[in-house]
Structures are given as C-alpha cells and as structure tokens.
A and B are shown apart, each in its own frame.
Chain A
Amino acid sequence: MIHFISKRLKHSLALLLLASVVCFTLVVSAPGNVAVLIAELRGAVAVPGYVAQVEEEIGLNKPLLMRYVDWLGDAARGDFGISYRTGQAVSADLPHRMMVTGTLIAGSAVIATLLSLLLGFLGAFWPYKLPDRVSRGLALIGASTPTFFVGALMIYGFSVTFQLFPSFGFNGPVSWVLPWLTVAVLPAAVLSRVVRVGLEEAMTSPYVLTAKSKGLGRTAILFREALPNITPVFINALGTQVGLMTATGIIVEPLFAWQGVGDYFLAGVRFRDFMVVQACLLIFLTFFIVVNLIVDLAVLMTDPRIRRQWS
C-alpha cells in the first residue's frame, strides 16, 4: 500500500506543477489589462501615468517566465501574494474561505450520500413500483435542473415565501441548510441512480441466489450482500461528485453570500486578479488530487480484489 501511496503522490505533484503552468498561461493570455482595472477601482477619475505606475507596482512589466517563477517560489512558502483588487494578502483571506467552502462541500456530500442511499434503496426495495418511479422521477428532475435555478427556488420557497431559513449568510447550522441542499441535489440525483442500478445488478448475482437459498429476506440481502458489493462503485462516483461540488460552489457561494473559495475565485476572474485566481486554482487542483487519492485508498480498503492486486 505504501508503494501505491508514494506512486500516487509523485504523480500528484507532477500534475500540480503542470496544472500551475496551464493556469498561469490561461490567466496571463486573457485579454485586457488588470492595471487599468486597478486604476479605475482606486479612483473615479483617472490619474495621468497611473496605469504605468500600477503595472510597475504589481510587476506586470517583468518577463512572463520571471513572473511565474516568482509566484511559484512564493506559493511554495505559503505566500500567494497581494490581491490586486483588495490590496490584502491572499494567504490571509484563504483560511476562513477554505473553512467556508469545506463546510459547504462536507455538508453537501453528507446530504447527497444520505439522500442517494435513501432514494436508491427505496427503488431497490420496491423495484418498478411507485417508490421506484418516484425516486427515478426525483433523480431525473434533480439531475436536469441547473444548480443556480435550484438555489433560486430554495431561496424563493424557504426564505422569501415561508421565511424558514435565511436567504444569505454563514451564521450557523440554520443558514447552512439551503446551500447544502442546493449543492446536494445534483450529486444526490446522480448517486441515487448509481445505488439503484448497482443494487439491481447485485441482486441478479449468484451470491444473492445463494443467500436466497439460505432463506435470507430481501432486506437482509440488500444490506448484507448487495451493499458491500456496490460500495467501491459508490465511493468512486461520490469522489467524482465531491470534486464537481467545488465547481458548483462557484455558483452557490455568491448566491447565498458565502465568502468561500468559489466566491473568491469568481471575483478574481472578473477582475483579472491573477494572484487570487492562481491561488484558488491551486487549491481546487490540490483538492481534486487529494479527493482522488482518498477515493483510491477507500476503494483499496473496501475492495479486496484491488487490495490483492497491489499486495
């Protein structure tokens, strides 16, 4: 297993380095001059020669390679530079924002898991009957409704009409409910189908026939025999969905006025705030890589066939 982890870590580092080059190239090749935006932001009226002064101040007049090397060296030491937009250190803003985004993703992942298991099992308990059709319908609606629309509906229904939950803010568990649900809807829909289809497949396997012949009931078979067999597939799908939740967060965080990494990234992209965009991209990529690593390890532990392959 140690061999497996060290090999994955090496790949991950190489991937991070490559991704940082791609991100840097993408950001610097975007049209428009950030120095002009900064000059505009700093005053309603123009100051002659100020744009050139800003370019020098933020190092835009340095060669590209030097800018990349400078940034990479500082980032490795945890210094992500100064935000062009706010004038504050990016690394000072990040811990709180990472905590906010972490809360969003963790809560949504738990809800998505519970919802998907509930819907998937409902379908598997009563295949091709009303609960199955309902869960399939819900999954279809959930998977085909855009997240921003789900969020707007949540706000309109639970905040504006019934005033049950706050429409914005990060102020404790009650304020987390709507963002969690908004992010969880799509993954829950996708995962519920993974569970439902996985269980159906498992129920046709020879070991289920053996269990049936031993006199086990449907419930016991589903939980004792089928569930462990679909776990690796479910973990894989969950990992993908958790990765995608970071992208969903970019939409959902501003919608609920959560100052997370997604919100930071969006503001950075709009302003060509290179330091912020680079830092956020690096966080996203690291998160993807770490999630994949965890998923691989989890699959390794839950699937003896793969464990045997690496031992």
Chain B
Amino acid sequence: MTLNRRSFLQASSVAVGLAAAEAAFVRIAYAQGAAGTLRVAIAKPAGNLDPQSHYAIWAIQDLMFEPLVKYGKGGQIEPCLATDWKIEDGGKTLQLTLRQGVTFQDGTAFDATSCKWNLARWMGKDQYSWMNCSKYFESLDVVDDYHITLRFKEAPLALMQELSYTRPVRFLSPKSVGADGKFIEPVGTGPWQQVSADDTQSVFERYNGYWGDKPSYERLEAKVISDPRSRVAALRAGEIDLIGGFWVAALTPEEAKQLETAGFNVAIDPGNVSLVMAFNPDRADALKDQQVRKAISIGIDRAAISQALYLGYAKPAGNLFSSALPYAGKQHDAPVLDVAAASALLEKAGWTGSPIRSKDGKPLTLEMVVSPEAIPGSRVIAEVIQSEMKEIGIDLVIRTVDHASKHTDMLEKKYDLGFFLTYGAPYDPFGSVVQLCLSTFKNDVEGKLVTDAANLDPLINAATAATGDQIEPTIQKVYDWLYDNDAIAPLVYVPTIWAHSKRVQGFTSPVTEYDMPYEKIVLAD
C-alpha cells in the first residue's frame, strides 16, 4: 500500500466536497420548510397542555386556549370569549355575555354549557384557592345559551384580572377529555391547533375556523433548544425566527446586544417585573434600624446595576411596581447613589470606623444570598453592590446557592439581604403584595419580601377588601408604608427582551411574560 501526499489530499477533497454538497441540499430543504412557518425557540418541551395542569409553558398554552377576557396594555381588561360583563351586588355577582359563533378546534360549539363545564373543573376547588374567584365561589347559573351568572360568597379581589390568567381559567373542549374526565388532547378555541408534540418540538397549524383575526401565516413550530447559546446560534444560522421571553426562552441583554450588532431585530420593553432587594432584620440586628436600611438603599448605584447586568436596558426602580401595571401607585424617582449621605446615616446610627464600620465592637457584616439559576445575573448584581457597600463601610459577604437551596434559604430566612422578583402582569399588583408581603398568607415557595403583622398587614387587608374607587387610595397606603420605612430596596424594572430575524415583521412585545407574541407578526417569505 502506498499513501502519498497527493492521494491523501485528493481523497480528503472528495470527502469534503461530498459532505458540502449534501449539506447544501439540506439547506435548500430547510429554506423550503420555513416558508409560511414561524419558528420559535422554547427552552424546554411544551409539556402537558391541559389548562388545569401546571406543567406546560404558559406561552404555548396561550396559542391554543383563550380566556373570557384578555389582559391588555396597562392592565386594561379586554373582551375575548366574553363580549360583555357586569359586576353587581358589591362585586359578589358577575354576569357574563359569551361570544357567539365560536367553535373549539374539534367543531364543538363554545356556549354556556361548555363554559360551565370548564369553570366547574376548577372553580371552588381547594387546589385553586389561591385564586380569589375560586376561593369565594358560590354558584354558577346558566341563563341561556350565551349568558351565565357567577355568584361569590365575598367580592373577589381583581376578579376580571384573574379571569385573564393562562391557567387554570382558559377553555378546553369538553370532548378533549376521556370518560373519567382526564385530559387527553389539547383542543381550545384559539388561533392555533396542535399537530404534533414531542420532546424536540411542538407543531401548530392555523385554525381556520377561528372567530378573530387569523394569523397571516399557516404554521408555527416551537423548537426545543435548552442551551441559551445554541438558541442564539440557531437564530443567527437562520434555523429559527424568534427567541426571547422570560418563561419561553430567556435572552440576556448581552446576547440581545450581540444579535443587534449582527443585524437582527431586538425588541426591548420596560417590562412589568421588578427586581427588589429584601432586608431581613430578624437575622441581622443592624437592619432593624431604618437608617441602616436607607443607607444601604442610597449606597446602591442602580444605574450601574442597569448598566452592568442589563447594558442600560433596565430602568432603575424607585417603587415596588412600574407604572406599566394598574394600581402601581405614585411613582417615586429611583434613589440616586449618595455615598456621603449613606455614610452620614450610618454614623448617625452609631456604626463608625474604617474600613469596615462597627458598633459595640461588632463589625457591620451582612450576608447576601444569591442564586444565578433562579435570578439570572444576580451574582453580578451582588458583586456590584458588594463593592458599593465597601465604600460606605459595610462588609458584604455573598453566598451563592443553587435554585433549590435558594428557595429553602428564603423560606427559612437564612439571609440578611436577598433578591426577589415580583410576579408581573397579570398577577400584580395584588399577587406580589399579598403573597410576598402579607404575613398571614402562607407562601411556601418564595418566602417573604417583607412582613409586619402590626403595621403592614392591616394596610394590605384594607387594600384587598376595597372596591371601585377605593382600591387606588388604599393600596397607595401600602406603597407609602414601604417607602416611608425603607422596608425594601427596589433595584430595577426587569426588561422584556425578544429578538427576531428579518423575515419576522410587525413584531410587538407581549403584554405579559406569559403570552406568545404571535399576533401581529407577518412573515416576509
């Protein structure tokens, strides 16, 4: 056998040429397959899409299932499967007029009977007692084919908001369950019907019998790509068209910037989720003093955090909620870094000395618990804050934990300083206020951002009991208490980030992080 350089190079060239030719044919096939198809990246398989189950990706359920009312911009409640509604009897009665001419994707008519069947699957059941309309549910009466009346024992707080949630409130065809009532296949009234689903992708076709504005393209493929870098590469390689969304396939500001530089369209909205720092005075005595809390708050450069982690896309926060949410309250300016004022406050509180302050021989050392898995980028923010605290004489120790441990530590209050994310629309403001701040509400998952049974609870209870015009002034008192006592340190409003290829036109960011932004897209094929 003879192997010389020439034959080796010839053989290698032939092999590379064949591989390239085969790949080129495949590339043409990819381009053909993409015509009329929107390809969206999802970080995990869509899961069990039963609206009453808790496993699926919200945005995928949003493609197929519709609510009675939709959550619009600024918290505006808009008609969907209900065209009209009247709240009577001090909020205890809800009269609904259902949309006519709506059919589920299997041909079943949407009417009062199917509406009642759906609501009976969850309303009034203990499992869904976290929703006020389920907790206070009394009865449901069918008036005629397109009118129903819901009665409650007490007026449910934010009733219409709750009816816009993705789960469990959205509507499933009564024929899509087995004889035992168990979910079999996802059939809704929405503009997309599922063709196939597995661990690699979920494929949807446009439902041509849809009652509303139909999408301008025929097919939507949700491709499972768990690695964030691979999602960005897939977009750049032209294999997907759209990525982003906190719960869909999160995109970091750095990745967004890279894509923007590479010529892709990036949509960044202010968002309605807030990143807030919690103080734990139960563990760190120093934090019982409001002056110390205030010093920490004004010792943080929110603009630097926005720049360091969000590349300037995030807006520094001065409030628990951004003005994008309803009942967000009077908007205060975000505290501006003031090292001198912060140092003066600490001096006044008796914490003196350098480089680390101390009081009664005890150094001012605080522990911050972060979990980059739970809150991406939180370690970077913690490091920024650590260097800023050093400037005012506070020794900040950062403890990084994984997602599971973060929950445990937050629940058991094993932290001095910690980060919380508010739930965002459509759950807020009441979702976060009640679950993160009301001491009597048992939150076994997130822990508490701040509690004060004597002073804060009565204000929250008054706000949640208020109706109509009384809601705004009563919830403002909650915000005022948080602000006046420096009980929390809002940091930034987390932006909503999406990126898409040039063939996606007319993109608008979704109103909530739980929606899929397919509606106004036109594909330029």
| Residues on A facing B (Cβ under 8 Å) | 30-34, 36-37, 39-52, 86-87, 93, 96, 125, 152, 155-156, 159-160, 163-170, 174, 177, 219-220, 223, 254-257, 259, 263, 267, 270-272
Chain A minimum-CB-distance residue to B441: A48
Instruction: Indicate which residue in B19, B167, B200, B427 contacts A259 across the interface (CB closer than 8 Å).
Output: B200
Q: At the interface with chain A, which of B86-94, B224-232, B350-358, B486-494?
A: B224-232
Instruction: Indicate which residue in B23, B44, B226 contacts A165 across the interface (CB closer than 8 Å).
Output: B23
Q: Let me know if B22 and A46 touch, CB within 8 A.
A: no
A residues within 8 A CB of B130? 43, 45-48
Q: Let me know if A46 and B230 touch, CB within 8 A.
A: no
Q: Let me know if A125 and B3 touch, CB within 8 A.
A: yes
- Which B residues between 17 and 54 are near A, CB-CB below 8 angstroms? 19-20, 22-24, 26-27, 30, 44-45, 47-48, 53-54
Chain B minimum-CB-distance residue to A158: B23
Q: Let me know if A36 and B408 touch, CB within 8 A.
A: yes
B residues within 8 A CB of A44? 58, 423, 427, 431, 514
5 A-B pairs (CB sep. < 8 Å): A46-B445, A87-B47, A87-B48, A152-B233, A257-B227
Q: Let me know if A254 and B230 touch, CB within 8 A.
A: yes
Indicate if B194 sits at the interface (CB-CB under 8 A): no
Chain A minimum-CB-distance residue to B411: A36
Instruction: Indicate which residue in B3, B27, B408 contacts A163 across the interface (CB closer than 8 Å).
Output: B27
Q: Let me know if A177 and B431 touch, CB within 8 A.
A: no
Instruction: Indicate which residue in B23, B24, B200 contacts A257 across the interface (CB closer than 8 Å).
Output: B200
A residues within 8 A CB of B406? 32
B residues within 8 A CB of A163? 27, 237-238
- Tell me, rounded to whole Å, the shortest Cβ–Cβ distance linking A270 to chain B: 7
Inter-chain CA distance A188–B26, complex, in Å, is 28
Q: Let me know if B200 and A36 touch, CB within 8 A.
A: no
- Tell me, rounded to whole Å, the shortest Cβ–Cβ distance linking B266 to chain A: 17
B residues within 8 A CB of A168? 223, 225, 230, 233-234, 239
Q: At the interface with chain A, which of B107-115, B212-220, B378-386, B397-405?
A: B397-405
Indicate if B199 sits at the interface (CB-CB under 8 A): yes
Q: Let me know if A152 and B229 touch, CB within 8 A.
A: yes
Instruction: Indicate which residue in A48, A93, A159, A257 contacts B225 across the interface (CB closer than 8 Å).
Output: A257
B residues within 8 A CB of A36? 404, 407-408, 411, 444-445
Inter-chain CA distance A159–B26, complex, in Å, is 12
- Tell me, rounded to whole Å, the shortest Cβ–Cβ distance linking B129 to chain A: 7
Q: Let me know if A46 and B446 touch, CB within 8 A.
A: yes
Inter-chain CA distance A255–B233, complex, in Å, is 10
Q: Let me know if A31 and B199 touch, CB within 8 A.
A: no
Chain B minimum-CB-distance residue to A131: B5
Instruction: Indicate which residue in B2, B55, B226, B403 contacts A263 across the interface (CB closer than 8 Å).
Output: B226
Interface string of B271-313 (1 = CB under 8 A from A): 0000000000000000000000000000000000000000000
B residues within 8 A CB of A166? 26, 30, 237, 239
A residues within 8 A CB of B338? none
Indicate if B502 sits at the interface (CB-CB under 8 A): no
Q: Let me know if B444 and A31 touch, CB within 8 A.
A: no
Q: Let me know if B236 and A32 touch, CB within 8 A.
A: no
Chain B minimum-CB-distance residue to A93: B199
- Report, nearest first, the 6 A-B pairs whose CB atoms are least far apart: A32-B404, A42-B54, A51-B444, A48-B442, A32-B405, A36-B407
Inter-chain CA distance A45–B402, complex, in Å, is 20
Inter-chain CA distance A173–B130, complex, in Å, is 49
- Which B residues between 131 and 190 are near A, CB-CB below 8 angstroms? 167
Q: Let me know if A45 and B423 touch, CB within 8 A.
A: yes
A residues within 8 A CB of B200? 169-170, 257, 259
Indicate if B343 sits at the interface (CB-CB under 8 A): no
Q: A219-B1, A257-B224 are in contact. Are A33 and B407 (CB under 8 A)?
A: yes
Q: Let me know if B403 and A31 touch, CB within 8 A.
A: no
- Which B residues between 236 and 266 are near A, CB-CB below 8 angstroms? 236-239
From DSSP, what is the main secondary structure of chain B's interface residues? loop
Indicate if B452 sits at the interface (CB-CB under 8 A): no
Q: Let me know if A40 and B441 touch, CB within 8 A.
A: no
Instruction: Indicate which residue in A31, A47, A263, A267 contacts B127 across the interface (CB closer than 8 Å).
Output: A47
- Tell me, rounded to whole Å, the shortest Cβ–Cβ distance linking A283 to chain B: 17
Q: Let me know if A41 and B54 touch, CB within 8 A.
A: yes
Q: Let me know if B230 and A37 touch, CB within 8 A.
A: no
Interface size on B, residues (CB 8 A): 59
Inter-chain CA distance A271–B22, complex, in Å, is 40
Inter-chain CA distance A311–B373, complex, in Å, is 56
Inter-chain CA distance A272–B403, complex, in Å, is 10
Inter-chain CA distance A34–B403, complex, in Å, is 10
B residues within 8 A CB of A41? 54-55
Q: Let me know if B54 and A167 touch, CB within 8 A.
A: no
Q: A86-B47, A270-B373 are in contact. Are A167 and B234 (CB under 8 A)?
A: yes
- Tell me, rounded to whole Å, the shortest Cβ–Cβ distance linking B7 to chain A: 13
Q: Let me know if A40 and B407 touch, CB within 8 A.
A: yes
Inter-chain CA distance A36–B447, complex, in Å, is 11
- Tell me, rounded to whole Å, the shortest Cβ–Cβ distance linking A262 to chain B: 11
Inter-chain CA distance A257–B45, complex, in Å, is 11
Q: A32-B402, A33-B404, A163-B238 are in contact. Are A39 and B444 (CB under 8 A)?
A: yes
A residues within 8 A CB of B97? none
Chain A minimum-CB-distance residue to B127: A47
Q: A168-B234, A219-B1, A254-B226 are in contact. Are A45 and B404 (CB under 8 A)?
A: no
Inter-chain CA distance A272–B446, complex, in Å, is 17
B residues within 8 A CB of A50? 444-445
A residues within 8 A CB of B20? 164
Indicate if B443 sits at the interface (CB-CB under 8 A): yes
Chain A minimum-CB-distance residue to B444: A51
Inter-chain CA distance A156–B232, complex, in Å, is 10
Indicate if B61 sits at the interface (CB-CB under 8 A): no
Inter-chain CA distance A23–B236, complex, in Å, is 40
Inter-chain CA distance A152–B3, complex, in Å, is 34
Q: Let me know if B230 and A256 touch, CB within 8 A.
A: yes
- Tell me, rounded to whole Å, the shortest Cβ–Cβ distance linking A124 to chain B: 11
Indicate if B435 sits at the interface (CB-CB under 8 A): yes
Q: Let me know if A49 and B444 touch, CB within 8 A.
A: yes
- Tell me, rounded to whole Å, the shortest Cβ–Cβ distance linking B516 to chain A: 16
Q: A41-B54, A47-B129, A259-B224 are in contact. Are A167 and B408 (CB under 8 A)?
A: no
A residues within 8 A CB of B236? 160
Q: Let me know if A46 and B443 touch, CB within 8 A.
A: yes
Chain B minimum-CB-distance residue to A258: B200
Inter-chain CA distance A160–B24, complex, in Å, is 14
B residues within 8 A CB of A96? 199
Inter-chain CA distance A156–B435, complex, in Å, is 45
- Tell me, rounded to whole Å, the shortest Cβ–Cβ distance linking B422 to chain A: 11
Inter-chain CA distance A284–B465, complex, in Å, is 56
Q: Let me know if A257 and B404 touch, CB within 8 A.
A: no
Inter-chain CA distance A219–B7, complex, in Å, is 15
Q: Let me know if A174 and B22 touch, CB within 8 A.
A: yes
Inter-chain CA distance A270–B373, complex, in Å, is 9
- Tell me, rounded to whole Å, the shortest Cβ–Cβ distance linking B473 to chain A: 25
Instruction: Indicate which residue in A34, A43, A52, A220 contacts B404 across the interface (CB closer than 8 Å).
Output: A34
B residues within 8 A CB of A42? 54-55
Q: A43-B130, A219-B2, A267-B226 are in contact. Are A174 and B23 (CB under 8 A)?
A: yes
Q: Let me know if A177 and B237 touch, CB within 8 A.
A: no
A residues within 8 A CB of B223? 168-169, 257
B residues within 8 A CB of A167? 230, 233-234, 237, 239
Interface centre among A34, A46, A164 (most CB of B within 10 A): A46
